[in-house]
Each structure stands twice: as C-alpha cells, then as structure tokens.
Amino acid sequence: MSCICPAHLKTAAVNRVSSLETLERFRNEHEVLVALAHLITGNLRNAENAVSKARELMTNSASPFASPEQLTKWVRWETIKAAVADSLDELRSYEPRYFNRTCMHAEHLLHGNSKLQQFHDFLVHLNPAMVIVELDPLARAVAVLRTTSRASILDCALPLKLSVDTVLAANCRAMSWIAQKRFEAEREELPPRKTVRRIHGHNYAPVQKWRKTVAQLHIDN
C-alpha cells in the first residue's frame, strides 16, 4: 500500500480556493453578477436567488486553485448556470419562435475574441429594462452565455437543453440586436457634421455663417 507524503498533502491543501476567498469574490462581483442574472431571469428577486445559489454551491464544494482572474470567471459562470437552471422552463418555451430560422453571419459564430468582450462590456452597461423589453428571454440568455462566458453554440445548447439550430438562431437575434444598439450609441456620440462648401478646390464655411459674418462687419463699420 502506497503512502501519501505529508508534503503532497500540504500542496493539495494549498491548491484550493478557500471559502473566504470565494465569498470575497462574490462580494466584490455582486453588482455584475446580479446584472448578468437579471438579464437572464428578467426579475431582480430571481437574479438575487441565482447569485445566492451559486455562492452556496461554490463555498460548499472543493474548489481547485484558481488565479484571481480565473476565480472571477468561475463565479460568473456558476451564477449564469444557476440563473439558466432557475429559468429553464421559460427559456425553452421560446423555442418555437426560432423554428425554421438560421444564421448567415459568420462573425456570429466567433468566440473568445475581442468583439465578444466589447459586446459584454456594452451589454452590462445597458438599461436592463430596455434589454428585457426588446429581447426575449432565450435570446438574452444566449447573449449572456456567449459574451460573458465565451461559450460556443454547443456550450450554450447543453445547459439550455435545446437544439444547436435553435441556439444558433437565438444567437443571431442577440448578436444582431447588440450590434445595432452599439451602432446607434456610437452614432449619437459623434459630433454633428459641419456643412462645408467646396468651390474650385477650396473649403468655405457654411453660407449662412458667412452671411452673418458679413452683416456684422457692416454693422461695425
């Protein structure tokens, strides 16, 4: 019978995330976690319950060692899974909406790239009430899974217990909606374009501004 070296036991004990570390990470990430769960459940109370379930699960289980960044991703993933599990019946009820639909956008299939990170940053800063009104629960859940967890279409289909075709169509709806909202937001932030007349290769100020300038010169004289 082989024996276990105490040094190995010590290493094994060190290579675990403590309950205190997990609780602290949930506390620091609470606002983001509730926001993500809220987008899936559509209800703040249910979102808080999903965060509580994820926190209880992680603090009562043996968690392997993780860097701070990995631990943050982990608590978000567990929260998202809890929110999906709590809302599964409602999410699956929207499956018929995506029957016979497909996606022709190759960029919607990408995962683990900077575009999804940009979509995540944009999504969590939107007014959740607007997102809930304009996107159905299934599209919202897929949006959170894809942008936050970098889940592939198949990785989304498994917890949702839906076909890949359904998730692909819902993903198309979500990605198209986020892209459109980002475009609208960026357009609103652009300064108004000034009308410039171009005559014989020279740029001139708008006619109306020029006329006002001439009128002011006459008054001064």
24-79 pLDDT, tens digit each: 999 999 999 999 999 999 999 999 999 999 999 998 876 666 788 889 999 999 99
C-alpha triplet 44, 91, 161: angle, nearest 5°: 130
C-alpha distances out from residue 62 to 22, 106, 113, 148, Å? 11, 39, 30, 24
90-132 pLDDT, tens digit each: 999 999 999 988 776 566 566 556 677 788 888 888 899 999 9
Q: Using N-to-C axis directions, what is the helix angle for 137-149 and 114-124, rounded to 10°? A: 130
Distance between CA atoms of 176 and 169, rounded to whole angstroms?
11
Domain boundaries, the chain: 6-189
Q: What is the pTM of this model?
A: 0.74
Across residues 5-28, what is the average pLDDT?
67
Instruction: Spell out the residues 6+ positions from residue 107 whose beta carbon is closer than 8 angstroms to its own.
Output: 115, 175
Is the pLDDT reported for residue 197 higher than 60?
no
